[in-house]
Amino acid sequence: MPDVVTTEIRGNVALLTLNRPERSNAMIPPMLEAFETICADLARKGEVRALVVTGAGKAFCSGGDVQAWESGGGPREREASGSRRDVVDVPTRVILPFRQFPGPVIAAINGVAAGAGLGLALAADLRIASTEARLGSLFVKRGIAPGNGISWNLPRIVGTAKALEIMLTGDWVSPQEAERIGLVNKVVAPEQLLPTALEWANKIAANPPIAVELTKKAVWRGMESDLLPHLEQEHYYQQITFASEDFKESVKSFLEKREPRYRGR
Lowest mean pLDDT among 74-83, 93-102, 156-165, 175-184: 74-83
Of 205, 220, 245, at which residue does a domain stop? Answer: 205
**Residues 40-61: pLDDT tens digits?**
999 999 899 999 999 999 999 9
Number of structural domains in the chain: 2
- pLDDT score recorded for residue 248: 86
Statement to judge: residues 194 and 226 lie in one domain: no
Residue 79: its pLDDT value, please? Answer: 40
- Do the domain assignments include residue 261? no
Kindly report the pTM of this predicted structure.
0.90
Domain that holds residue 251: 209-255
How far apart (Å, rounded) are the C-alpha atoms in residues 121 and 117?
A: 6
Does pLDDT of 153 surpass 50? Answer: yes
Are 140 and 162 a contacting pair, CB within 8 Å?
A: no
Average pLDDT over every residue of 11-30? 95
Q: How far apart are CA 131 and CA 193, in angstroms?
A: 9
Mean pLDDT value of segment 224-246:
91
- For residues 108 and 176, membership in a common domain is answered with yes
pLDDT of 250: 86
Higher pLDDT, 257 or 238: 238
Which residue, of 164, 181, 205, is where some domain finishes?
205
